Amino acid sequence: MPVADREAGPSAPSATAGPGRVLVPYGQGRIRGLDAAELGSHGAAVDGLLALGLPVVPGLTVPAGAAASLCATDTAEAAVELVEQLSGRRMGDPVRPLLIRLSASAPTEVAGLPPDLPCLGLSPARADDLTAVIGRADALYEVWAGTVRMIAEYALDVPAAVLDDALLDTPEPRERVELLLSLAAEHGSRPFPDDPAQQLALAARALLNRWDSPRARRSRRAQKLPAELAVALHVQALRIGPADHSGYGTAVSRDPESGRFSPRGAFFPGVRRSAPPPHTGEPLERLAGGTALLEHSLLTLERHLRTPVTVDFEVRDDEISLLAAAPQPRPPLRAAVCLAADLARDGALGHEEAVRRISPAQVQELLHPQLRLTGGEELLVRGLPASPGAATGAVVLSSERALELAADGTRVVLVAAETNPADVPGMLASAAVLTATGGIASHAAVVARGAGKPAVCGAEGLRVDRAAGTVRFGERVLREGDPVSLDGRTGAVYAGTLSVSVAGPPPELTTLLEWADDVRRLGVRVNADTAAEVDTALALGAEGVGLCRTEHQFLGARLPLIRRVLLAADPSARDEALVALERAQHEDFRALLTALGNRPVTVRLLDAPLHEFLPAPGEALDAAEEQRAAALREANPMLGLRGVRLALLHERLYPAQAEALFTAWADVSATGVRPQLEVMIPLVSLPEELAAAAAYVRGAADAVAARTGVEVPYRLGTMIETPRAALLAGELAEHAEFFSFGTNDLTQLTYGFSRDDVERQVLASYRERGFLTASPFARLDPRGVGALIALATERAREVRPGIKLGVCGEHGGDPESIAFCDGLGLDYVSCSAHRVPVARMAAAHSALREPGENSGSTR
């Protein structure tokens, strides 16, 4: 990439006549109409640096195509003279000595370029003068030996074997140089000359011969480059100075940990080597002459290239000059985020452009910790990446054990065949969750994402033996208490305690997300069940709650109460349990509404499959209860007594919930807070179901108004989670003021894919066969499920033009699905708290797409 596109150059001499006509001083290439094809990538880049007013090591380019002319002594003489003029120094000056460095560059970055040849112009007679100026002899001789060796082999035709054999026993640099010079005299086509121009001419021949060698040509062919590709040659001043005041180094513009502008790199005092130096160098703070000019150069380059940058530089007489500059390859994400915010704050970039630069996936990466892998880890199993983030901890095989150990401060990873609602407290106490079965919309995955815990689900080959206290990963067996590390982004589980990168995005991400909020049309809400989750989500930018799953209020200590409601032998016992439940829910709702303030909140009335609340066989209080539970057990609970169906059979359930909710609203409103309440009925497929449930809710509102004197304002709506509901959206809209598409169930029922079962085998196989590119539970299927949503949207709007429409399935946090929803003009998406920033960015990216770019759009 060129460093500058502005045309400018230093007032340097130009050589346009005689042998010097092929010599192009740095900075004059573009003025002469030359580009990287002639100047090589280095020549073009240096032109760019000079155009930006940055300090560059003086030098010139012999353009590709004319490079061979430097092998002629008269051209080399002209080049030496020009470098003397450009640098203001003279070859042979004992006080301010000058040497020459020759290098080559191709039009683009190429592997296999010949190494640079520094120290041209040096002779045994002059070496002592230079050593005296530098103050250290070794470095000079070491670098010089490399140059003499290459010229001897590639320009003086000394056989490589002769050089190799002779050098084998001569490690000392000064002796090496002496030996190489004597080998050239003895075996070469001519002795190694003392004259700088003759040395330069030979060096040019050596570089070009090496570039033309069969090996180099093969390498170019392997890189799919023409074997005849021509290189430009660059003749640079190598100004020698005291080691304490000169040297060379490399720097990047940003600190990799913080991402802030803070140059990082190394400085090596002394003469520049071609090969990487054997030691780590000094920190930049020790840079001779200070870092001000380096910082200025890096800042200027960043502003120009709009990317974190890296430079090679040289220091002479306490002043830096740049040798090369380029965009930093693979800059750390934090650096990219901070730079985007910095550039936009400085006005170098518009806010929208800054937002465009950070993808939703990168937001996700910044928000979650990651494992630091070194390559030597023992992979135990790879499952589905169910909830992002990374954690380490001791294996526990039950929720009880998780709670016990976590109470002592031990970090634990809950490993189970699968989880159910009774496991929630143990899951919340764990650092991460690993299950053998279940997909990315399974219970474990949904709960883990909601809680911001990393999770891996559907880890095939994992066998939990709770009785033996072991977990088997194929042949490998771990015991409860053994450490594991888990990456919920990749689905990988490793043995042992790996290092975890500390998460926490830079504050600049907050700024970028605020700009993203200015751009997006689509609202972003959170799926949250508790006040604590709401607090987290609001801090992450959620605008309200799009789904409060009230069944999560029936877990833990409340589980016996809901069991009594479902299994009570007589109505009075059931009513008693209902009253207790209502009281408990009232408290939960009060906390939730208080946390939300005046924001919108969609509360979904009870929707869990019945089996989640029934005691497991043998767990019932007595034989009678076991008998009643057995009678309620279903062969296919996800299609059984779920959602609104349960409420229609247990007619006091929804009124009790709705009364608890409305009373909580009345209490909270007394403190001046007025959350925008939305009451939602789940799993409807008949308009009659919705009408009946709506009547329960209205009755509850009336009862609360009569009791408290407060008319609670609320909207009533329904989830669209069955294909029939989508098809009958027009009729449903007559009873509903809003719809929320439950895309987890809608996907399950549209495909007939069990959300808990198909992921591990069926979907994996379908992906392998190319039937699917992603799990439809993770990425909304635009052709089937999406078409149903589009149709429902259209039919609902015909009946109720302003109907509020949202999505609250897991797809609400997936960037591509979000773009699809945005394309349909839905009002909001709702997702788990830790995906809220990802959704904000995804919605902004969708809004910034050019018309027609919204892949899934049916609008």
- In the region spanning residues 614 to 633, those forming contacts with ligand PEP, defined by CB under 6 A, are none
Is 808 an annotated catalytic residue? yes
Q: Answer yes or no: is 742 a known binding residue.
A: yes
Q: Is residue 809 at the binding interface for ligand PEP, with CB under 6 A as the rule?
A: yes
How many chain residues bind Mg ion (CB under 5 A)?
Answer: 3
Half-sphere exposure (CA, 13 Å, Cβ side) for 462? Answer: 30
Q: Tell me the per-residue interface mask from 701 to 740 with ligand PEP, x by CB under 6 A, - otherwise.
A: --------------------x-------------------
How many Cβ atoms sit within 10 Å of the Cβ of residue 678?
24
What are phi and psi for residue 58, nearest 5 degrees? -60, 145
Buried b (16+ CB within 10 A) or exposed e, 584-609: bbbebbbbbbbbbeebbbbbbbbbbb
The CB-of-746 to Mg ion minimum distance in angstroms stands at: 8
Partner interacting with residue 240 (select from ligand PEP, Mg ion, none; CB below 5-8 Å by kind): none
Partner interacting with residue 808 (select from Mg ion, ligand PEP, none; CB below 5-8 Å by kind): ligand PEP
- In the region spanning residues 570 to 609, those forming contacts with ligand PEP, defined by CB under 6 A, are 607
Q: Answer yes or no: is 549 a known binding residue.
A: yes
Q: Answer yes or no: is 737 a known binding residue.
A: no
Question: What are the DSSP E strand ranges found in 190-260?
Answer: 232-239, 247-254
The CB-of-744 to Mg ion minimum distance in angstroms stands at: 5
196, 717, 742, 856: which one binds ligand PEP (CB under 6 A)? 742
Element (H, E) at 804: strand 804-807
How many chain residues bind ligand PEP (CB under 6 A)?
Answer: 10
* β partners of residue 310: 252, 326
- In the region spanning residues 231 to 250, those forming contacts with ligand PEP, defined by CB under 6 A, are none
Sequence letter at residue 400: E
Q: Tell me the per-residue interface mask from 228 to 267 with Mg ion, x by CB under 5 A, - otherwise.
A: ----------------------------------------
Q: Is residue 792 at the binding interface for ligand PEP, with CB under 6 A as the rule?
A: no
Q: Answer yes or no: is 745 a known binding residue.
A: yes
Beta carbons of 803 and 796 less than 8 angstroms apart: yes
Q: Is residue 742 at the binding interface for Mg ion, with CB under 5 A as the rule?
A: yes
Element (H, E) at 733: helix 729-733
Q: Give the per-residue SS3 of 752-788.
A: CCCCCCCHHHHHHHHHHHCCCCCCCCCCCCCCCHHHH
744, 793, 854, 857: which one binds ligand PEP (CB under 6 A)? 744
Element (H, E) at 149: helix 138-154
Element (H, E) at 720: strand 714-720
Q: Answer yes or no: is 636 a known binding residue.
A: no
65: Cβ contacts below 8 Å, ≥ 6 apart: 38, 230
357, 443, 489, 549: which one binds ligand PEP (CB under 6 A)? 549
Q: Is residue 743 at the binding interface for ligand PEP, with CB under 6 A as the rule?
A: yes
Looking at beta carbons, which residue is closest to Mg ion? 745
153, 745, 814, 827: which one binds ligand PEP (CB under 6 A)? 745
The CB-of-785 to ligand PEP minimum distance in angstroms stands at: 10
Taking the least distance from each CB to Mg ion, the nearer of 199 and 722 is 722
Which range, of 100-108, 741-749, 758-766, 838-846, touches ligand PEP by CB under 6 A? 741-749
678, 745, 814, 816: which one binds Mg ion (CB under 5 A)? 745
Q: Answer yes or no: is 527 a known binding residue.
A: no
- Alpha carbon distance 85, 58 (integer Å): 9
Q: Is residue 750 at the binding interface for ligand PEP, with CB under 6 A as the rule?
A: no
Task: Show the tokens assigned to 508.
Answer: 């600049």
Q: Is residue 547 at the binding interface for ligand PEP, with CB under 6 A as the rule?
A: yes
Is 368 an annotated catalytic residue? no
- In the region spanning residues 691 to 730, those forming contacts with Mg ion, defined by CB under 5 A, are 721
By CB atoms closer than 10 A (0-12, 13-18, 19+), residue 837 is buried
- Report helix, strand or coil for 297: helix
Pairing mode, if any, of strands 98-105 and 117-120? antiparallel
- Alpha carbon distance 149, 156 (integer Å): 10
Q: Which of 71, 119, 338, 808 is catalytic?
A: 808
How many Cβ atoms sit within 10 Å of the Cβ of residue 182?
13
Residue whose C-alpha is closest to residue 250's, from 237, 226, 268 = 268
248: Cβ contacts below 8 Å, ≥ 6 apart: 267, 268, 272, 312, 313, 314, 315, 323
Q: Answer yes or no: is 260 a known binding residue.
A: no
Partner interacting with residue 40 (select from ligand PEP, Mg ion, none; CB below 5-8 Å by kind): none
Partner interacting with residue 549 (select from Mg ion, ligand PEP, none; CB below 5-8 Å by kind): ligand PEP
Q: Which of 42, 234, 304, 443 is catalytic?
A: 443
Binding-site annotation, residues for Mg(2+): 721, 745
Binding-site annotation, residues: 549, 604, 721, 742-745
Which residues are annotated as catalytic? 443, 808
Which residues here bind ligand PEP, judged by CB under 6 A? 547, 549, 607, 721, 742-745, 808-809
Which residues here bind Mg ion, judged by CB under 5 A? 721, 742, 745
Binding-site annotation, residues for substrate: 549, 604, 721, 742-745
